[in-house]
Structure 1
Amino acid sequence: MFTPVSARAASAYKRVGAQTSIEGASPHQVICLLFEALVQSLHAARGCLARGDIEGKGQSIGKAVRILEEGLKAALDIEAGGELAVNLRGVYNYSILRLTTANLNNDITLIEEVTQLIVPVFDAWKSIPLPPVGNA
C-alpha cells in the first residue's frame, strides 16, 4: 500500500517543521509522524481562526496541505495498495480541497470536517501491528 518512505516524504516532513527527528525512523513511524504533524496543524489552524489570527490560520493550513500532498499522498503506492491506496488518495485529495476552501473562506467547520476524516485514518494507521525488531 505504501512505498518505502521516499526522500521526498522525509524531506516534506522536515520542511513542515515537525519537532521529532526522523533519522532512523521506520517507514511506519515516519507516516505516524506525518499524521501527528497534520493533526497538530489542523488544531493550530482551528485555534488561529477562533482567535482571529488569519495569518497563523493560513500558515497552519498551508502546512497541513503540504503534509497531505508531499508526505502522505507521495508515500502511497497505488499498485501495491490497490483499492485501499486509491481510497486514501481520495481522502487526501478531498481534505486538500476542503482545507483550501476553509482557508479562502475562513471556515472553521471545514477544518473540523477534515480533522474528523483524518483522525480515524491516523488511529487505524497506529493500530497496524509491526513486526518484531530484527525480523526481515
Structure 2
Amino acid sequence: MSIAATQAAAHLQQQADSISPYEVIALLLDGALERLQQAKTSFCAGNLHEAQELVNRTIAIVNGLRASLDMEKGGEVAVNLNAVYEYVAARLQEDNVDDPMAVLDEASRLLAEVKQGWDGIADTGPVRAVG
C-alpha cells in the first residue's frame, strides 16, 4: 500500500521557509481532514487495512496538534482545543465500533469546526498561544 502525501503536507514542504506558525496549524488541520476523507473512501471501498492506516495517520496529526498547544499562554482556548483533540484521537482509536463511518464523520465535523475557528482568527494578528 502506498499512501500519497496530503496536499497540505506538499504545500508545507514547498513553502517550509516562508510559512508562519499559524499556517502550519491550518495545514495540519487540513491534512487531518484530508486523511479522514481518504479513510472514508477506503472504508467504503472495502479496503479496511488502508482505512486503518489513514486513521492512524490522522491520529498522529491530531496528537501533533495537541502537543503544539501552549497551555500556559493559551488559557481557556488551549484547554478547550486540548479536550477536542483528546476526544477525537480517543474516538478514532476505539475498538469494536458499531458504525465506523459515524466516528469518521464525527471526527471530521469536530476538526472542521476547529479549522473554521482557526481560519476566523487569521486576521486578528499573530497567534502565539494556541495551536
Indicate whether 1:58 and 2:46 are aligned: no
Which SS does the other structure have where 2:23 is aligned? Answer: helix
C-alpha distance in 2, partners of 1:23/1:95? 30
Q: Of the candidates 20, 23, 29, which is equivalent to residue 23 of structure 2?
A: 29
Instruction: Please list every run of 5 or more consecutive structure 2 residues that lacks an aligned counterpart in the other structure.
Output: 127-131
Tell me the distance in 2 between the aligned counterparts of 1:62 and 1:115: 14
Cα distance in structure 2, aligned partners of 1:95 and 1:83? 18
**What stretches of structure 1 move > 4 A for 4+ residues in a row?**
none
TM-score, L = length of structure 2: 0.80
2:78 to 68, 75, 85: 85
Counterparts of residues 10-21 of structure 1 (less than 5 Å): 18-20=9-11, 21=13
Question: C-alpha displacement at 1:130, in angstroms?
Answer: 5.0
Q: CA deviation at 1:104?
A: 5.3
Distance in 2 (alpha carbons) for counterparts of 1:86 and 1:45:
28
Equivalence for 1:3? none
SS in 2 for 1:43: helix
Q: Percent identity?
A: 30
Q: Deviations over 1:45-68 (max 9, x none)?
A: 111111111111011101100001
Cα deviation per residue 1:76-106 (whole Å; 9 max; x = unaligned)?
00110111101100000000011112x6547
Q: 1:131: Cα distance to partner?
A: 4.0
Aligned to 2:129: none
Q: Give the distance between the partners of 1:31 and 1:82, measured in 2 at CA.
A: 18
Distance (Å, rounded) in 1 between the aligned partners of 2:84 and 2:125: 27
Give the AA of the match of 1:59: E
Letter in 2 for 1:107: P
- Secondary structure of 1:19's aligned partner: helix
TM-score by length of 1: 0.77
Where structure 1 has 5 or more consecutive residues not aligned to the other structure, the ranges are 1-15
Query: How many aligned positions are there?
Result: 115
**Alignment map for 1:35-74 (pairs within 5 Å):** 35-70=29-64, 72-74=65-67
Distance in 1 of aligned mates of 2:110 and 2:30: 14
- Are 2:89 and 1:99 equivalent residues in the alignment? no
CA displacement at 1:23 relative to structure 2: 2.8
